[in-house]
């Protein structure tokens, strides 16, 4: 049985009970069939740390009664999901309010007003009716899930934590070792991660998370760059860099008085 504190990989699909529409899924094919496929999303089972990852309570209860390989089928009523619909959150606004956004929305659009999202219900005679309720408010959700894997070793667990922050990096390209005695974790990342924007901040967040979860005080990151000499010469990939370094040194050698 799954216990609190267990690390599991969960595959799941959430549908809205009343219309049977898929509202979210970790399964790429299901997303495509339901026409909610998002190329920016990374599909595949998701890491859940049971009792720590915030889940709808009926889902958490169901997981605690299941084991690796097992399936869960859960019905989540609105009060345990996104709350009941609140008619007070349906508001009428003057269309002039929208002028600052530069364009007039159409019914069905999602707009942001004062940091809150709202759906445009209708537009007529200079007024817009907006619904500030969460789109899933009032809906009963059906969650069908499968515990694909229960993670056992610290290495498996740490690797999945790294994956939260670097979802696009292939799991097979990340190597993690946890040394509890030395209170240290070592994360080897593929060279492709070198070019991720603000990778330093991502590493810092990974380090803080791993330190928290494994009681580590040191988190080491390693990237190994392999230099292919033949290619270098053919493509001139390395040589210009080398010349550039020399050029810098020479400039330094006697710098123009204009500088």
Q: Which of residues 19-48 bind a copy of itself (CB under 8 A)?
A: 21, 23-24, 26, 38, 46-48
Buried b (16+ CB within 10 A) or exposed e, 2-37: beeebbbbbbbbbbbeeeeebbbbbbeebbeebeee
Q: Is 175 a binder of a copy of itself (CB under 8 A)?
A: no
From candidates 53, 92, 94, 122, binder to a copy of itself by CB under 8 A: 53
Cross-strand pairs, 16: 141
Q: Which residue in 104, 107, 143, 150 binds a copy of itself (CB under 8 A)?
A: 143
With CB under 8 A as the contact rule, the residue among 35, 87, 222, 234 that binds a copy of itself is 222
**Pairing between β-strand 90-94 and β-strand 110-113 as defined by DSSP bridges:** unpaired
Q: How far apart are the first and last CA of the chain?
A: 70
Least distance in angstroms from the C-beta of 232 to a copy of itself: 7
The nearer residue to a copy of itself, 126 or 227, going by C-beta atoms, is 227
Q: Can you state the angle between helices 199-214 and 154-165, rounded to 10 degrees? A: 150
Residue 239 three-state SS:
helix
Which residues between 88 and 127 bind a copy of itself (CB under 8 A)? Answer: 110, 117, 119
Give the count of beta carbons closer than 10 Å to the beta carbon of residue 238.
Answer: 14
The least CB distance from residue 231 to a copy of itself, in Å, is 11
| CA dist., res. 214 & res. 207, Å (int) | 10
Strand, helix or coil at 116? Answer: strand
Nearer to a copy of itself (CB atom), residue 73 or residue 195: 195
Chosen residue from 57, 212, 231, 235 binding a copy of itself by CB under 8 A: 212
Out of 35, 126, 181, 225, the only residue in the binding site for a copy of itself (CB under 8 A) is 225
Determine the interface stretch with a copy of itself among 1-9, 122-130, 174-182, 193-201 (rule: CB under 8 A). Answer: 193-201
Interface with a copy of itself (CB under 8 A), residue from 4, 29, 32, 52: 52
């Amino acid at each position: 049985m799954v216990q609190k504190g267990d690390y599991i990989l969960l595959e799941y699909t959430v549908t809205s009970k009343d219309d049977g529409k898929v509202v979210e899924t970790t399964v790429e094919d299901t997303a495509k069939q339901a026409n909610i496929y998002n190329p920016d999303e990374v599909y595949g089972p998701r890491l859940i740390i049971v009792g720590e990852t915030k889940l709808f309570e009926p889902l958490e209860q169901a997981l605690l009664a299941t084991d690796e390989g097992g399936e869960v089928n859960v019905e989540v009523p609105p009060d345990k999901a996104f709350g009941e619909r609140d008619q007070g959150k349906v508001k009428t606004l003057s269309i002039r309010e929208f002028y600052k956004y530069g364009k007039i929305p159409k019914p069905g659009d999602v707009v942001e007003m004062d940091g809150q999202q709202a759906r445009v219900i209708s537009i007529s005679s200079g007024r817009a009716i907006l619904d500030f309720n969460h789109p899933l408010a009032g809906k009963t959700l059906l969650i069908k899930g499968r515990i694909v894997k229960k993670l056992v070793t610290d290495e498996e667990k740490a690797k999945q934590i790294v994956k939260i922050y670097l979802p696009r990096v292939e799991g097979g390209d990340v190597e993690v070792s946890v040394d509890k005695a030395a209170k240290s974790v070592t994360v080897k990342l593929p060279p492709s991660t070198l070019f991720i924007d603000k990778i330093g901040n991502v590493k810092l967040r990974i380090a803080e998370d791993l330190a928290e979860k494994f009681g580590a005080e040191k988190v080491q990151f390693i990237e190994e760059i392999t230099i292919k000499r033949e290619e270098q010469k053919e493509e001139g990939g390395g040589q210009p860099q080398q010349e550039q370094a020399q050029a810098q040194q020479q400039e330094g050698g006697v710098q123009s008085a204009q500088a």
